[in-house]
Chains A and B, each alone.
Chain A
Amino acid sequence: MDFLTIIQLLDSTVRLATPLLLACLAGLFSERAGIFDIGLEGKMLMAAFFSAAVAAATGNVWLGLLAGIGSSLLLAGLHGVASITFRGNQLISGVAINFLAAGMTVLIAQDWFQQGGRTPSLIGGGRFTPFDLPFADSLSGVPVLGPVYSELLSGHSILVYIAFLAVPATWWVLFRTRFGLRLRAVGENPAAVDTAGVSVVGLRYAAVMICGLLCGIAGAYLATALQAGFVKDMTAGRGFIALAALIFAKWRPWHAMGACLLFGLLQAIALRFQNIELGGITIPVQAMDALPYVLTVVILAGFVGKAIPPRAGGEPYVKER
């Protein structure tokens, strides 16, 4: 493997890690506030469809992004109503949202475009174009660092940079602001937050909505930047890999970035190489597919440092007894 191959591999790692990272941070906000969300997948899928559909219809990718975020927020609101207002089972609500998205996207796509559950391919202004960092061209001649800067760091869509900037932003919001402290407290001990006179319901809705916003960006990235248009079930389990990354990172923003890059790398390797020869042993491509999930189970089992979720996660808060 030469230097250029490695750069290309890392480049596609960044691209593939971006939707995982956005969804993972989305889940981070929600679960830190005590609302389990296995509906990340569904929200991404819904956003992917609506962003592609609106971008295809208007030719404007920014309108598409807005539509994607809007649809994802709608599903997030549904999750909030079910799991906060009506104190329903958060896991079941997530399952329902995943199926709702899987079905509705194809149903609407077929009704609007009649192309077998996909949107038309996005062209021109309908897609996010690569965004060049300053001096990327002039620096590309510099040995080693040149290609790293111009190939690996530069030339991604704007959403990639937003995703990676969201990591310090998430850290700052959660660990350096009053809102973040309250949000984390509501996931550990909602009764204490309530006693302090802060609305548990309000905080949890805020967290769920932030989750919807980030999932919306993740979905829009999939359909309008990573690929050019929506196809049926295009999230392909990314919402669950993001969930796995979240556990892998033990609900911490910087670690979430590390986990998503790792899982992105696994996806990039699986995409590029079919079977990998490693010292006489052939690693089948299916092993690469399964590895994120296996790693998550190992982490969950607590053999490599125990993953302890927020204490009030999954429990609806009942004010009066």
Chain B
Amino acid sequence: MDKMPKWADVVLIPLISLFLAAILSALVILGIGEDPVAAVKLMVDGALGSTYGWGYTLYYATNFMFTGLAVAIAAHAGLFNIGGEGQAMLGGLGVALVCLLIPWPHWTLALLFAALGAGLFGAAWAAVPAYLQAKRGSHIVITTIMFNFIAAAVLNYVLVNLLRPEGSMDPATERFPEAVHLPSLHELLAPIGIEFSKSAPANVSLLVAVGACLFVWLLIWRTPLGYEIRSLGKSEPGARYAGISSVRTIMIAMLISGALAGMMAVNNVMGEAERLVLNATEGAGFIGIAVALMGRNHPFGVFLAAILFGFLYQGGAELALWTSIPRELIVVIQALVILFTGALDNMVRMPLERIFLAMRKGQN
């Protein structure tokens, strides 16, 4: 018998956790001598008040959808993939190589193969930790953390020594050719008569991200593989008893997870910067953890949480622009969301369970 109705688990607990995180964030803003109400107003205005704001919100949300899904799918297999950051960095390398080495006739083809390259590189970066976890029992959290740092060093080396154009001091690749330019939301929406801001970076990869959400939902809840992944996550001995190979399932789940994190690069490298720079990921891999926790590892939840964090990111940038509140406020909010929806989950859950049990006793 469940202690709580399902809606309480899926909706009520995240909302209460979010509420607690919001209250603490407001206290932080008060603490540094600013007005939280005015700050929220400015954030809503800046992030949602114009198509320009929405363009940035959705651009960030696209990144977070990919990394959030990556964390979520690994979580279903009972694995904590903290290496989304490194996998996304390597995904960027994959996109850069695809875009620079092959003269593409049209962006559609380029997008397809760039996504493939990003996914392959991201999956490859997840493959070693996955193999070590599956075969040798090395803790995947530690190995993926280590691989984040190794990825940063690899990317640094490749950009400084191999991909940097002659005579440039900037550790970055040259600009991608015009043919691989991804249409922005402005270019997509203008033909059907919707005015969207020209300078916002949201682009066609948003649709890829939404497609990825659908794909993950289908995979997890509508395929045998998804069933195997979820069984392994619930109970490894149980899964093994049912004839599910844990090595195979861990590998597949982590490869998909790494590929999803890597595919983020289609948005930030190909869609926005149109060249590969150092630190292109800007911590989006870690925000995926908060997004997946917030979204309860469900693709639709991830979709919503990604838009929420997109809003926080764009709103935070506006705050930094117009007030003396530094951008790091978002990092604090992100920490509080991870703390309340993740680590302190039981703090909200235990009293709620007691309340629901008491209510049920009252009915009987």
Contact = CB atoms under 8 A, between A and B. Distances in A.
A binds B: yes
B154 A286 contact: yes
Interface in B145-165: 145-147, 149-150, 152-154, 156-157, 160-161
A96 B335 contact: yes
Interface in A44-70: none
Contact of A108 (B32, B137, B146): B32
Nearest to B157: A286
B309 interface: no
Given A102-B328, A107-B328, A296 B142 contact: yes
A248 to B, nearest CB: 11
A98 B154 CA distance: 24
Interface stretch (B108-116, B261-269, B344-352): B344-352
Nearest to A81: B344
Interface in B17-64: 28, 31-33
A107 B128 contact: no
Interface string A96-119: 111110111011101100100100
B146 A297 contact: yes
Interface residues of B, number: 52
A125 interface: no
B142 to A, nearest CB: 6
B284 interface: no
A102 B142 contact: no
A31 to B, nearest CB: 11
Interface string B134-145: 001111011101
A307 B132 CA distance: 13
B293 A244 contact: no
A88 B343 contact: yes
A293 B157 CA distance: 16
Contacts of A111: 31-33
A297 B143 contact: yes
B331 A103 contact: yes
B328 A93 contact: no
B332 A293 contact: no
Nearest to B342: A92
Contacts, number: 156
Given A91-B82, A103-B328, A297 B346 contact: no
A228 to B, nearest CB: 22
A99 B150 contact: no
Dominant secondary structure at the A interface? helix
Nearest to B132: A301
A297 B343 CA distance: 26
Contacts of A107: 28, 32, 325-326, 328-329, 332
A121 B161 CA distance: 35
A97 B332 CA distance: 10
Given A240-B149, A287-B153, A95 B332 contact: no
Contact of B145 (A38, A100, A110, A301): A38
A168 interface: no
A294 interface: yes
Interface string B266-298: 000000000000000000001001000100000
A87 interface: yes
Given A88-B346, A110-B324, A99 B286 contact: yes
A174 interface: no
Contacts of B342: 88-89, 92-93, 95-96
A141 interface: no
Given A289-B153, A300-B143, A309-B139, A86 B346 contact: yes
Given A240-B149, A284-B161, A296-B146, A96 B343 contact: yes
Residue in A81, A89, A243, A244 with the greatest tally of chain B CB atoms within 10 Å? A89
B144 to A, nearest CB: 10
Contact of A284 (B141, B157, B344): B157
B345 A302 contact: no
Interface string A237-260: 100100110010000000000000
A215 B28 CA distance: 24
A290 interface: yes
B83 to A, nearest CB: 11
Given A82-B339, A92-B338, A243 B149 contact: no
A83 interface: yes
Contact of A91 (B80, B143, B149, B286): B80
B334 interface: yes
Contacts of A293: 146-147, 149-150, 153
B336 interface: yes
Contacts of B145: 38, 240, 243
A111 B328 CA distance: 12
Contacts of B132: 297, 300-301
Residue in B147, B153, B325, B333 with the greatest tally of chain A CB atoms within 10 Å? B153
Contacts of A81: 344
A244 B335 contact: no
Contact of A286 (B32, B153, B344): B153
Interface in A257-308: 284, 286-287, 289-290, 293-294, 296-297, 300-302, 307
A22 B10 CA distance: 42
Contact of B150 (A102, A294, A307): A294
Interface of B: 28, 31-33, 80, 82, 128-129, 132, 136-139, 141-143, 145-147, 149-150, 152-154, 156-157, 160-161, 286, 289, 293, 324-326, 328-336, 338-339, 342-347, 350
9 contacts: A78-B339, A86-B343, A86-B350, A96-B338, A100-B332, A103-B334, A240-B145, A240-B146, A293-B150
